Amino acid sequence: MKNIVPHYDIEQRFTFVITTELSVRNIACWITMGIFNLSILLKNTLMPILANAGSGRRTMMNHPLIETGVYMRLRYLIPLAVVMLPSLATADNCEIAVSAADGMAYDSRSINVPASCETFTVNFEHKGRLPKGGMGHNWVLTKSADVNDVAKAGSDAGIANDFLPEDDSRVIAATPLLGGGEKASVSFKTAELSTEDSYTFFCSFPGHWAMMRGSLQLVN
């Protein structure tokens, strides 16, 4: 499953595994998706526009773009493009962009870290507007088995410590706690990870970590 780029997932319905591997299989997958989208676009939107062109007077409401439902169809492609572009931009790279807004969710649910990278960097951005004290987010990486204990210790540590226990060896990597509009990067050595273990990234802000999390794995 780790090499399949667009994929269906029981829990998330439809998501993308962001992969850094430019394998033949991945590239073929993107090309297939592109041809599929183009054929849908041609059949459902461009053909009706051509058929309608020149017929009748045009007002705002009978403009072919609105009449043929182009907007209604394209609006599904817009989020798709938003998801696809960053994953392509980070292809074959030892870094990834992750963001969150004023909700308890990251834009990534699964991250593959290539074992070929010596270090891996996460460029984290809080794209929301709410302050750190109300809707702060960080990006914390631990073994999946350690998430609950580290998060609880983080709550006790308080916002002065970015809701993380001080000098805790279970924390593999962590950004500072960010408020809306802030960015931070964190790097870690891939030698600290094992392909045998499962890792989880999460936000240690109290009440966030139960939902605001994703999986991370080291892949060969």
List 203, 213, 216, 218, residue binding Cu ion (CB under 5 A): 203
Stretch that binds Cu ion, among 66-74, 83-91, 142-150, 195-203 (CB under 5 A): 195-203
Q: Which residue has the tokens 């999390």?
A: 213
Q: Is 213 in the site for Cu ion (CB under 5 A)?
A: no
Which residues are within 8 A (CB) of 36 and not within 5 positions of it... i.e. 6 or more apart?
none
Which residues are within 8 A (CB) of 214 and not within 5 positions of it... i.e. 6 or more apart?
106, 108, 109, 110, 111, 200, 201, 202
Nearer to Cu ion, 135 or 218 (CB): 135
Stretch that binds Cu ion, among 37-45, 91-99, 187-195, 210-218 (CB under 5 A): 210-218
Beta carbon of residue 198, minimum distance to Cu ion (angstroms, whole number): 21
The candidate with the shortest Cα–Cα distance to 203, out of 164, 165, 145, is 164
Nearer to Cu ion, 17 or 126 (CB): 126
C-alpha distances (whole Å) from 19 to each of 23, 136, 192, 216 are 10, 27, 20, 11
List 205, 213, 216, 218, residue binding Cu ion (CB under 5 A): 205
- CB-CB contact of 107 with 122 (8 Å): no
Q: Is 208 in the site for Cu ion (CB under 5 A)?
A: yes
Stretch that binds Cu ion, among 34-42, 90-98, 164-172, 202-210 (CB under 5 A): 202-210
- CB-CB contact of 214 with 100 (8 Å): no
Q: Which residue has the tokens 């240690």?
A: 204
Beta carbon of residue 103, minimum distance to Cu ion (angstroms, whole number): 9
Beta carbon of residue 24, minimum distance to Cu ion (angstroms, whole number): 38
Helical H runs in the chain? 24-41, 47-52, 64-67, 70-89, 132-135, 147-157
Q: Which of residues 123-162 bind Cu ion (CB under 5 A)?
A: 137
Number of residues that bind Cu ion (CB under 5 A): 5
Beta carbon of residue 209, minimum distance to Cu ion (angstroms, whole number): 8
Contacts with Cu ion, residue ranges (CB under 5 A): 137, 203, 205, 208, 212
